[in-house]
Each structure stands twice: as structure tokens, then as C-alpha cells.
Amino acid sequence: MKRIAIQGIEGSYHDIAAHRYFEGEDIELICCSTFEQVFEEIANDSSVIGMAAIENTIAGSLLHNYELLRASNTTIVGEHKLRISHSIMCLPDDDWTDITEVNSHPVALMQCREFLNQHPGIKVVEAEDTAGSAEMISRRQLHGHAAICSRFAAPLYGMKVLQESIETNKHNFTRFLVFCHPQRANLLRDIRQTNKASLVFSLPHAEGSLSQVLSILSFYKLNLTKIQSLPIIGQEWQYMFYIDLTFDDYTRYSQSIDAITPLIQKLKILGEYKDGRQSV
């Protein structure tokens, strides 16, 4: 059985993504209240596998998780892209006429703004978690309260779904990364199927330094699917660059890394893995 550390509780989108990625396998969830705790679980037990959201097609990148990955002794071994569909739910005895307050994570509330604008009489209150809001309402029997989260949380916490698919944009996907202690990496991935890599590096403060690196990657016919810059704390106007690359020839990819190494600083390969599939 695989032990998977996630941020959130049962019924959360991290829970759903973990079960979709490890479909058909026996897994045990380690539910953490923060992403920091996810990485701490792996640091304390090298057999634990972590799963964390890294970007959303609407809300953008989770910048703090990039830094956690860079600072940790973990390696990315996979990814999964999950369609995010929000539902609004309440206690079984309540109905639309009873609802005076809705609770959820601020990103989920933002993604349902058009729906919420249609119900101006309902107070919107931010919470730490989507499924956690449903669990809280159920545990405390908060009549008149509703939660916005995945419909899969409803049976777990004895809630009633009032309406499904209330998100404004139906093309709403979150990308989750799967990572582990480096010693376990080859047990969790097939190197023959590897066609994607995530890197982080800094550059000399010189004219054209980034364009030189990108030109080399283009020369080796690598596809740059993501680039994200984050400031280096304590070094004004200096940045770390996080990039994702896809390729169809691992040898050519390795040659490109050798070619850019003399031009960059503090290179770290965060992981080499298979480009993840999408699920709804």
C-alpha cells in the first residue's frame, strides 16, 4: 500500500487527484493542513509520497509550492491534470430558502463568482479548505450554511448537493505534481516513458543571459511548456527561473542540459517524469 501525503482532507480535490493518479492501487492518505506539512511527512519517512497542486488554468501558479519543491530533498515523478468542478451543498434538512452563508476556499469562491453574484443575499465567507468547509458544517450542524467543494465530498460528510457545476469557467483544470524521496524515484516511474522535466536555475546578471539559454533549448528541439520567475530573497533584481520542458528524445534532452550548464547558476533538476493525463 502506498502512503500519500496531501494538503486537505478526504473529499478534497487533492484526494480526488491522488485516487485518479494511483487508480487501481491501494493507497492510504496522510491528510495535512498545510503544504509544508506534506514535505515534512516525506522528510520524516522516506516511504511517503507527496502530491501537491502547482498551477490552475484560471488562478495561475501556486508560487509557494515551487519554493517548497526547490528547498526540499524530493524529486518529481509524475503529474495529473484534474478538471475542477464545484458544487454547492448543505445539510440534508436545509434547502435554498434556508441558506444565508456559503463557505469555501477563496480560490473556489473566486471561480464561482458569477454564480454567487446571482445570489446576493447569501454571505460569502472564506475558509481554509473546500471539503473542510463541508466537514465543518456537518460536524457543527450549521443550518443555513452551505459549502462549495467537489460533489464527492457530499456523501462523506452527509451533505445534500443543491447544484453541481457552478464554476464560471468550465475549462478549469488544476495540475498536481507527485514527488518523493530521490531513492524511491525509479520505483514510481518508468524512465522509458519519461518525456518531461522540471528545472530551476538562476542566471548571471548579464545582458541576454536568458535568451541564450532559451535559444539552446530550441536548438535541441525541446518544447518549453512553462516558465516562472521568482525573486531571490536578499538579492535585489535577481531571479530563480522554473521551467518545464517536454521532449521525445531523452538523449537530446540530456545533451541540452550539458549545453546550458556553463551559462547558468545553481541548476537543480526538480524531476524527470511522464507528461500527465487529464481527467474529469
CB 270 within 8 A of CB 261: no
Q: Maximum distance among all alpha carbons in the chain?
A: 66
Give the amino acid at 194. T
CB 265 within 8 A of CB 201: yes
Residue 246 C-beta-side C-alpha neighbours within 13 Å: 7
pLDDT value, residue 238: 84
Q: What gap in Å lies between CA 53 and CA 62, rounded to an integer?
A: 7
Q: What would the pLDDT profile of 128-143 be if each residue is shown by its tens digit? A: 899 999 999 999 999 9
Q: What would the pLDDT profile of 30-74 be if each residue is shown by its tens digit? A: 999 999 999 999 999 999 999 999 999 988 899 999 999 999 999
Q: What would the pLDDT profile of 186-216 be if each residue is shown by its tens digit? A: 989 988 899 999 999 999 877 788 999 999 9
Query: In sequence order, what are the beta bridge partners of 199?
Result: 243, 269
Does residue 279 have a pLDDT over 70?
no
